[in-house]
Structure 1
Amino acid sequence: MMKSAKKMFYPAALAAGVLLSSSAMAFEDFQITESSVPGAAVNTFTADRIVGGYQEIVTFGAGTFDVSILWTAGQFFDDGTGIASQVGGFGPNTYDMYGLFQASGTFVSNGAGGSLFSFNSGGTLDLLIDADKDNAYTAPLTGDLAWTATGNTADDILLATGEVLSGAGVLDPTLSTCGPGVNCGSFGTNTDFNLTDAGKDFFTAPVPFYNVSFQSGQFDQFNVSGTQSIVGSLDAVFNVPEPSALALFGLGLLGMGGVARRKTKAKA
């Protein structure tokens, strides 16, 4: 069950990633060496973002929120073009890459039936590889931020850790893309990014690697109360502007993203 949940967001995330990557905003290049993953074939390439989808469990209080995200990588991109790689695939030589993200923050009404979100500093990010694709997670319980391992995660490879530095987001149900309840807002978080030894074998350039990462997400409609499960797309890039600016930039692409996601669902 949860194994499929780790992959179910890939088509929508891929569509959104293509559109975001085709924008005028450029991100820093980095080099991936996939042969460092046990069982992967030799393959080295340059990319500027990692596209994926996520499931988010968020609990809202009186003007506060606590959030926990399970993100699954779907594909690497460079200048708007998808790169042939072994991540998220099926068959021999493939592997899964995923992230566990926890954070907290505050929110206020934006006067349009939505909300503005601000992330506190101090949350956490772990980026891992499941080389043999045999793990699984279940969602946190109410008020709990920890995803529970229900498969074999003991052999997963920790690539990097990070701490949340800042972040911003907006939910706006008046957006034209939000009619069917998809692409109703965006968010961005800024974290530091500390590679492990295994991570240095995977992210092989530049050296030293970037010390700041950014996660740019889009999400579907949800109620800002109680505990909610939210899905959406999320890109990872490195050494970028402040997340508040990129969260607003993401809103400008919601129209295109909404069209792409509706087309994807129509084909399913």
Structure 2
Amino acid sequence: MKIKFVSLVSIVCLGVASIVMKADTLTLNNGTNDPLGGSVQIYPYSFQLNTSAGTSTVNLMCLNYNREITSGESWSVTEESIPTGNTVIDRDYRADAILYSEILHPPAGVSASEIQYAEWSIFDPANLVGNSLFDFTARILATDALFEASNQQLINSGYFNQFTLYIPSNDTSSGPQEFIGTATTPEPSSLMLFGSGLIGMAGMLRRRLVRS
């Protein structure tokens, strides 16, 4: 079992719209073998999450294809809210959140594997070139998620408040992956938007597939 001990750097955010951050520890229990094949595991990844409030088991979605972790490995993470800014990386994290909502309730005819590969393509597209599992449907999912991530009405609605990013302290190509999950206590209004968002995304995907 490989364990990394990483010192946690305190970050102070100044400004009107600061990102919520909490320092915790993740320990990987196991991932899920891809039923479509391949040597990598896909959502859900089961973790033991250790916080100041106690320990719990959470299922998270992986955001990085080109990093590796092993069962039993632990690392320090910072819990962060989904950014609502206008930078490319802000948009990409929102696309990650949209795809995570898709994998919780996959549209008819869409596999968890396709959604996971769409997720990986947001940050690591070059690593998926020539990968047969990054298929046509996965490409549509990624394209649509990136488009919706720029929807200012969706951003302003509070929809993204229901998600949490788990960013490793060693957030480099040699460190653990970033993960996304559901916020501990999503607001009721966000839950309603969550459901309506899923319905809208599913309908949009079906229309795209039919036209293609």
TM norm structure 1: 0.23
Larger fraction in helix = 2
Q: Counting strand residues as a fraction of each chain, which structure ranks higher?
A: 1
User: If the length of structure 2 is used for normalisation, what is the TM-score?
Assistant: 0.27
